[in-house]
Amino acid sequence: MFKAIFTWWNGAALGARFHIGRRGVFVGQDDYGNRYYEAKDASDSYDGRKRRWVIFSGYAEASKVPAEWHGWLHYTFDESPVTAPLLRQPWEKDHRPNLTGTIHAYRPQGSLARGGERQKATGDYLPWTPE
């Protein structure tokens, strides 16, 4: 409860939860635990469309929204992925959020964050010296 009052980066703040709970209808939930809502009516929208929200599960990071829900949030799809699932091709990979800044981020060989030594230069570099 304390985190809900004072933080906006963990899920949603208390005011946002109150507003969405009062004005929105639960539409669905994705595999990451994010919950999606749509407004009951278009009374608080500026373009006549019903407003749509996401309440993140844990840290609020936009890359945690899968493609099908992103399309629904941005009005690319009229129907939610619950009622009209997005067709997946066999060559498509599963969605992964951006891992930069986390312990699971990619760290190539020689990276300071990996703790390794970089490869020695091959000797083909000659610095410029004035004549």
Quote the pLDDT of residue 89. Answer: 92
Alpha helix positions (H), the chain? 2-6, 14-23, 67-73
State how many domains the chain has: 1
Average pLDDT of the chain?
83
- In a domain, residue 130? The reply is no
Distances (CA, A) of 43 to 3, 4, 23, 64: 30, 27, 10, 29
- In a domain, residue 111? The reply is no
- In a domain, residue 74? The reply is yes
- In a domain, residue 122? The reply is no
**Which range is least confidently modeled, 10-14, 47-51, 61-65, 92-96?**
10-14
**For residue 111, pLDDT beyond 60:** yes
Domain that holds residue 90: 1-105
Cα distance between the two ends of the chain: 70
What tens digit of pLDDT does each residue of 40-65 get?
888 877 788 899 999 888 888 888 99
- In a domain, residue 25? The reply is yes
Q: Tell me the C-alpha distance between 99 and 104, whole Å.
A: 6
- In a domain, residue 46? The reply is yes
- In a domain, residue 117? The reply is no
- In a domain, residue 7? The reply is yes
